[in-house]
């Protein structure tokens, strides 16, 4: 008892260098991300006490939350060679929500580490060492940093590209780490499928949607190799045995000029000369009359062609290879189908 009183006094006496009057940083979370608030106090103990007290009513009103259970007792705070030992009551380990358990350790570590001079934090519960209680943390040793739980909008370009590959919007070689025009084309395909604003940019909403996305599914069911052209979304789904192999950003005929129906690829030309429009159409796969999938420089996010299905130069060779002669092509307005 005497020893505990001594330790508490010792920790209270650890005034923060240069922090007099400035208050302490206490870490909570808002929208799943860590946020600091400034509180009165100049000692480590004061900072931890403020953390355990939780956000104030106005802070809660602003969406600030704490993963630390209400009324968690603080047993002691001591410092040895810049390692701060915080001994807490059993309530600190209450509950089974792994995110909450991780979150409360993160809050404590951030709060204590934000005090200048602190190197790491040793966490004790009821005077003992927690083992296995807080997923992701090995509390048998002092912790120097909180785990980084990266929000979706901080996904790197390479990770975003890998997701696009996984979901079938981008080919493997497209994982370059650079947000290039091929990536932008794939992002457009994804945005169309996910009903997001179609700008081809890797904005916050697009990245967040990518994290939660699953592979597109066909609107129709039929065996074998086939292509669905979904006019409302302006995408083509390349399907093998009811599994979408690739989803491609397209631009179909303006004003509904692309005929709806079920067709088959009947003619293929590596370079096709369009007589009426006097233009070369690379990678052309005709599926009804003079209507074909083909590469084109301009593939806008809306129907813009004379009836053909325009495909970007990145996707056209792959689509040409997939659409063998006889491949079934279904063209429809998916909303009408629903």
Distances from the Cα of 5 to the Cαs of 9, 76, 146, in angstroms? 6, 9, 29
**Smallest separation, CB 96 to another protein (Å):** 7
Question: Number of residues in contact with another protein, rule: CB under 8 A?
Answer: 27
Q: Cβ of residue 31: shortest distance to another protein, in angstroms?
A: 17
Asked if 81 touches another protein (CB under 8 A), the answer is no
In the complex, least distance from residue 90 CB atom to another protein, rounded to whole angstroms: 6
CB of 186: closest distance to another protein in angstroms? Answer: 13
| Residues within window 245-264 making contact with another protein, judged by CB under 8 A | none
Burial class (CB in 10 A: 0-12, 13-18, 19+), 244: middle
Q: What angle do CA 127, 132, 134 make, to 5 degrees?
A: 85
DSSP, res 16: P
Show the CA angle centred on residue 49, arms to residues 47 and 54, nearest 5°.
100
CB of 218 to another protein, least distance (A): 9
The first and second tokens of residue 222, run together, are 């039929």
Which one of residues 101, 118, 146, 202 is an interface residue with another protein (CB under 8 A)? 101
Q: Which is nearer to another protein, 41 or 130 (CB)?
A: 130
32 binds another protein (CB under 8 A): no
Q: What minimum distance in Å lies between the beta carbon of 217 and another protein?
A: 5
Give the whole-angstrom CA distance, residue 239 versus residue 305. 24
d(CA 189, CA 48): 49
| Contact status: 239 vs another protein (CB under 8 A) | no
**For the residues of 223-260, what is the DSSP string, one character each?**
SSEEEEEETTTTEEEEEETTEEEEEEEEE-BGGG-SPP
Q: Is residue 58 a contact residue for another protein (CB under 8 A)?
A: no
| Cα–Cα distance measured from residue 338 to residue 326, given in angstroms and rounded to the nearest whole number | 27
Closest C-alpha among 193, 196, 253, 184 to residue 218: 193
Binding of residue 192 to another protein (CB under 8 A) = no
Phi, psi of 309, rounded to the nearest 5 degrees:
-110, 105
Question: Is residue 1 near another protein by the rule CB under 8 A?
Answer: no
Between CA 83 and CA 320 the distance in angstroms is: 64
Instruction: Kindly tell me which residue out of 20, 214, 255, 298 binds another protein, with binding defined by CB under 8 A.
Output: 214
Q: Select from 212, 270, 278, 297 the one that contacts another protein (CB under 8 A).
A: 212
Q: How far is Cα 276 from Cα 260, in angstroms, rounded to an integer?
A: 22
Binding flag, residue 309, another protein (CB under 8 A): no
- Which range touches another protein (CB under 8 A), out of 213-221, 226-234, 277-285, 311-319? 213-221
Contact between 125 and another protein by CB under 8 A: the answer reads: yes
- Please state the closest distance from residue 213 (CB atom) to another protein, in A: 7
Confirm or reject binding of residue 215 to another protein (CB under 8 A): yes
Residues that bind another protein (CB under 8 A): 90, 93, 96, 98, 101, 125-135, 163, 166-168, 212-215, 217, 243-244
């Amino acid at each position: 008892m005497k020893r505990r009183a001594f330790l508490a006094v010792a920790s209270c006496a650890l005034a923060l260098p240069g922090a007099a009057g400035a208050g302490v940083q206490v870490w909570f979370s808002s929208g799943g991300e860590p946020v600091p608030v400034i509180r009165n106090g100049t000692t480590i103990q004061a900072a931890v006490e403020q953390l355990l007290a939780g956000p104030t009513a106005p802070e809660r009103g602003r969406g600030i939350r704490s993963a630390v259970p209400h009324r968690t007792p603080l047993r002691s705070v001591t410092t040895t060679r810049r390692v701060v030992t915080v001994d807490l009551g059993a309530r600190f380990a209450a509950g089974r929500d792994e995110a909450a358990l991780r979150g409360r350790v993160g809050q404590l570590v951030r709060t204590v580490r934000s005090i200048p001079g602190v190197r790491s934090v040793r966490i004790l519960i009821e005077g003992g060492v927690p083992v296995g209680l807080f997923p992701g943390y090995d509390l048998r040793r002092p912790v120097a940093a909180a785990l980084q739980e990266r929000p979706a909008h901080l996904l790197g370009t390479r990770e975003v590209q890998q997701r696009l590959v996984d979901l079938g919007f981008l080919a493997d070689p497209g994982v370059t780490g650079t947000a290039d025009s091929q990536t932008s084309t794939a992002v457009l395909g994804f945005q169309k499928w996910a009903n997001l604003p179609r700008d081809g940019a890797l904005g916050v909403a697009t990245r967040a949607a990518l994290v939660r996305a699953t592979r597109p599914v066909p609107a129709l069911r039929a065996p074998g190799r086939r292509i669905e052209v979904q006019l409302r979304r302006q995408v083509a789904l390349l399907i093998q045995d009811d599994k979408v192999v690739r989803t491609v950003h397209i631009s179909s005929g303006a004003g509904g000029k692309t005929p709806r129906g079920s067709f088959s690829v009947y003619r293929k030309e590596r370079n096709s000369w369009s007589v009426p429009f006097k233009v070369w159409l690379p990678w052309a796969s005709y599926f009804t009359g003079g209507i074909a999938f083909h590469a084109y420089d301009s593939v806008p996010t809306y129907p813009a062609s004379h009836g053909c299905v325009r495909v970007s130069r990145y996707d056209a060779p792959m689509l040409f290879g997939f659409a063998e002669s006889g491949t079934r092509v279904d063209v429809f307005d998916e909303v009408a189908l629903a």
